[in-house]
A and B are shown apart, each in its own frame.
Chain A
Amino acid sequence: MRKLIYFVIAGFLMLMPDMAWAGAYEQLLSISGGGAPNVPDVPEPTPVEPDNYSNSNSNSYSNYQQPSYNYADPAEQQRREERRRQRQKARERRAREARDRREDREWEEEKKERNEYEAKRQIVLKQLPPKWQLKSSARKNPAAGKVPPLSGLSSMTSMQKQIDALQKKSGLNAQQQAELASLDRRMLDLWAQPVSADDTPERVRRVIRLPLGFADSKDVARLDQEKLRALLQSPSDSPAAEAVSDLLPVRNGVVNFAGDHLQNIIAAAPAEVFEVATDAEMGALMKDGVALAKVTLAFRDASQGIAALADFVVGRIAVPQAAIAEAGRKIYTNIAFESLNNFMDKASSAVGATHDRPAFWQEIKDESNTGQRAFLEWMGAK
């Protein structure tokens, strides 16, 4: 029974299109004024050239006359093309209008949604506890948005703007130049205030800068490769160039003297220069080391004669004695910190001392303030 019902419904559905369309054309004619719209005439079908296949199949119709020409009216083709173009334009216009209408509708809907959301949000906000409202609308609260007072910062900013404005102008007159110089000087004077103020935010502190510039690089001494080569090859202008050629360690001054050269002299002990000394004499020569030799060097005067003699001690450096070395190790141990800026407590307690943290910070703060004052003085600000 159920199958039969399905079968009947399916049959109705198959008949539906014809039923739905029955009389539709007549209704359309009546709506448009009773006549058919101006539908262009459909041209007669154009005969086409027979292909090989059709020829092979039509051998039995030998008396069939093939069309002798394929004529198309150019005016008609032009009209047809024009109509096609008009239809295309109309389609595009309709699509554009539809898109515009859709966008307008969507925008209206969004606007409506936003308004509804805002209305709901306001209702919710009014019902929230006061501290939540503060949090959510901190910008509107004058207390929450209060900028810490920065002494001199606003003045600096306005002055920097004036300086920038003046610098953009070309051909400043004497008065403007004087004004610029005055602003620069006041900037120097004001710079210390936000820098030394404790309440200056870090981001402000990082961008505060002095108006120091770069001089025009005219008249700069220049050394190219060619000139460098010439300098390397040319003998020195100094009298040292004519120094003794057979004594390498002193040819360019006393260079690397205590190395092999002195060792060779001591080992060979040439009679003309070497004199034997005692351990006691050598031991008295150096306080923090072991003397190897006492060397007398001869200097020349302008007439190439011996002008002067001078004694030098050559020795090895002794590592400080145990107690001093231990002190040094402690000094370095004290500063072998592990974490940022709180090493003093740990390091001092490790060596049995107590580090006075406030005193340390005060001391280093004083030192940095002194440095800043000295810097400003160096810049000519005070």
Chain B
Amino acid sequence: MKRMLFAIVLMLAFFSVAAQATDIMPETTLLLPMAEGVNARWIIPPASDNFAARYRDMRMSFTVDTDGHAWLGFADGSVLCPQKEYSFKLPETFWDFVCLDNGVMLFATTSRLALLDVVAGQNGQQPTVSLQPVAMLPPDCIRMFKGADNCLYFICGKENGENSVWLFKPQAYRGDRGLPEFQKIFESEAPVNAVAGDGVITWVAIGRLVIKIDEQKRVQRYYQHPHQVIVDLEYSLTGGLFYSTPFAAGYLGKNGALEMLNARGPDIACQGSSLYLLFSRDYGLMAVDGISQLPQYDQPLAGIKKVRAVKYDQ
């Protein structure tokens, strides 16, 4: 009898471990170089179904601050940082926000660039968080991107109109009056999906194509994804260029792509030597550390040399 009871307890323990082990994310695969320091880790586990259901249909902005904390902004004005347990709702609507490496958090409203501001409450009321406008944005801006080396990129344009990319890098460019100015760096007849760079070299995504604009402002073909439209680009000074499509995210070198994640609607951000992958379906957040080692894999591929796997039909 004791033996039987022990066997049952053992089986239950085994099943619980097995259940944990097989609790994998659906339709998601990860490919990582097996190198020291390169590994994936969970930052924020997936959110509850209620939370995901509430925000799933809202337009979302995602950025990571200098301390590696993820910030999410939603179309209803909600801003939250789960790791710091910050959350507030802005009275103004904004369509994008970024955290730069120098600690500046900037919001883009309909026509203005704004900073976060806390206004003291009047007559004993609690303070409120609002946006402090700092400057006018270039006309018809639709997206704002964090660039490396503390610069900002903006994609502007109207539907069926000309599209343009603007750069704002105050520490590097000042106008005739000695003041920082927005610079238009690229014009296109085709819609621009994403932009990244460091203010010197810029990459622009148009459809499946990624174009490089060098220091001499020459436009060159950089990469074309074989299957999917590129929707986001991120550039890290240590790691290089990263991209995301509606179904994948990966590293983009001179010799091609290294698609590290296949998942539905991933959102990416770079900070330091980590690439952050946000699963837009359940708001789980992973970090891939050691991305500074990825450029060493940017070589012409000769093919698959070996595949080691468990043969299940043995």
Taking Cβ atoms with an 8 Å cutoff, the residues of A that contact B are 177, 180-181, 184-185, 188, 195, 198, 202, 205-215, 217, 219-225, 227-228, 231-232, 234, 236-240, 242-244, 247-248, 250-259, 262, 265-266, 269, 273-279, 281-282, 285-290, 292-301, 306-322, 324-325, 327-329, 331-337, 340-344, 357, 361, 364-365, 367-368, 370-372, 374-375, 377-380
Within 8 Å of chain A (Cβ to Cβ): is B12? no
Looking at B77-85, B231-239, B267-275, the stretch in contact with chain A turns out to be: B77-85
B42 to A: closest C-beta gap in Å: 5
Bound complex: CA A279 to CA B304 (Å): 22
**A341 and B307 within 8 A (CB):** no
**B224 and A371 within 8 A (CB):** no
Q: With a CB–CB cut-off of 8 A, which chain A residues contact B83? A: 331
Looking at B1-9, B23-31, B56-64, the stretch in contact with chain A turns out to be: B23-31
With known contacts A257-B259, A266-B309, A293-B307, A316–B24 Cβ distance under 8 A: yes
Jot down 26 A-B pairs with beta carbons below 8 A, ordered by A. Answer: A180-B177, A205-B117, A205-B119, A209-B135, A215-B182, A220-B187, A221-B218, A223-B188, A231-B211, A236-B221, A250-B303, A251-B226, A252-B226, A265-B307, A281-B308, A297-B301, A301-B299, A307-B299, A313-B31, A316-B29, A319-B23, A319-B45, A327-B45, A331-B85, A365-B118, A374-B103
With known contacts A254-B259, A313-B34, A213–B307 Cβ distance under 8 A: no
Q: Chain B interface secondary structure, helix, strand, loop or mixed?
A: strand
Choose among B47, B183, B220, B224 the residue that contacts A328 (Cβ–Cβ < 8 A).
Answer: B47
**A294 and B308 within 8 A (CB):** yes
Bound complex: CA A73 to CA B139 (Å): 79
Q: With a CB–CB cut-off of 8 A, which chain B residues contact A367? A: 116
Choose among A274, A298, A368 the residue that contacts B115 (Cβ–Cβ < 8 A).
Answer: A368
**A319 and B25 within 8 A (CB):** yes
**A258 and B189 within 8 A (CB):** no
Within 8 Å of chain A (Cβ to Cβ): is B50? yes
**A256 and B248 within 8 A (CB):** yes
**A318 and B24 within 8 A (CB):** yes
Look across to chain A and name the residue whose beta carbon is closest to the beta carbon of B117: A368
Q: With a CB–CB cut-off of 8 A, which chain A residues contact B85? A: 331, 334-335, 344
With known contacts A240-B300, A317-B28, A256–B307 Cβ distance under 8 A: no
Taking Cβ atoms with an 8 Å cutoff, the residues of B that contact A are 20-25, 28-35, 39-42, 44-48, 50-51, 54, 78, 80, 82-83, 85-89, 100, 102-106, 112, 115-120, 126-130, 132-136, 138, 150, 164, 170-171, 173-175, 177-190, 206, 209, 211, 213, 217-221, 223-227, 248, 250, 252-259, 262, 283-284, 286, 297, 299-311, 314
**A328 and B306 within 8 A (CB):** no
Q: With a CB–CB cut-off of 8 A, which chain A residues contact B180? A: 212, 379-380
With known contacts A215-B173, A314-B30, A335-B80, A256–B129 Cβ distance under 8 A: no
**A365 and B127 within 8 A (CB):** yes
**A254 and B258 within 8 A (CB):** yes
With known contacts A213-B179, A237-B220, A306–B302 Cβ distance under 8 A: yes
**B304 and A273 within 8 A (CB):** yes
A226 to B: closest C-beta gap in Å: 9
Q: With a CB–CB cut-off of 8 A, which chain B residues contact A273? A: 304-307
The residue among A231, A287, A324 with the most chain B CB atoms within 10 A of its own CB is A231
- Cβ-closest 7 pairs across A and B: A253-B256, A328-B45, A253-B257, A258-B29, A332-B47, A335-B87, A293-B309
Bound complex: CA A252 to CA B222 (Å): 11
A105 to B: closest C-beta gap in Å: 54
Bound complex: CA A185 to CA B179 (Å): 8
**A274 and B309 within 8 A (CB):** yes
Bound complex: CA A228 to CA B191 (Å): 11
**A256 and B221 within 8 A (CB):** no
Look across to chain B and name the residue whose beta carbon is closest to the beta carbon of A248: B226
**B182 and A224 within 8 A (CB):** no
**A256 and B82 within 8 A (CB):** no
Q: With a CB–CB cut-off of 8 A, which chain A residues contact B184? A: 214-215, 217, 220
**A215 and B175 within 8 A (CB):** yes
**B24 and A212 within 8 A (CB):** no
B152 to A: closest C-beta gap in Å: 10
B27 to A: closest C-beta gap in Å: 9
With known contacts A228-B190, A254-B257, A184–B31 Cβ distance under 8 A: no
With known contacts A275-B307, A378-B102, A238–B255 Cβ distance under 8 A: yes
Bound complex: CA A314 to CA B32 (Å): 7
With known contacts A181-B177, A253-B301, A279–B310 Cβ distance under 8 A: yes
Q: With a CB–CB cut-off of 8 A, which chain B residues contact A357? A: 126
**A315 and B29 within 8 A (CB):** yes
Look across to chain A and name the residue whose beta carbon is closest to the beta carbon of B260: A254
Q: With a CB–CB cut-off of 8 A, which chain A residues contact B132? A: 195, 205, 208, 372
Additional 19 contacts, C-beta under 8 A, given A237-B220, A341-B128? A180-B177, A185-B178, A205-B117, A209-B112, A220-B185, A221-B213, A223-B186, A228-B188, A252-B226, A256-B259, A256-B262, A269-B311, A300-B301, A300-B302, A312-B31, A334-B87, A344-B87, A364-B86, A371-B115
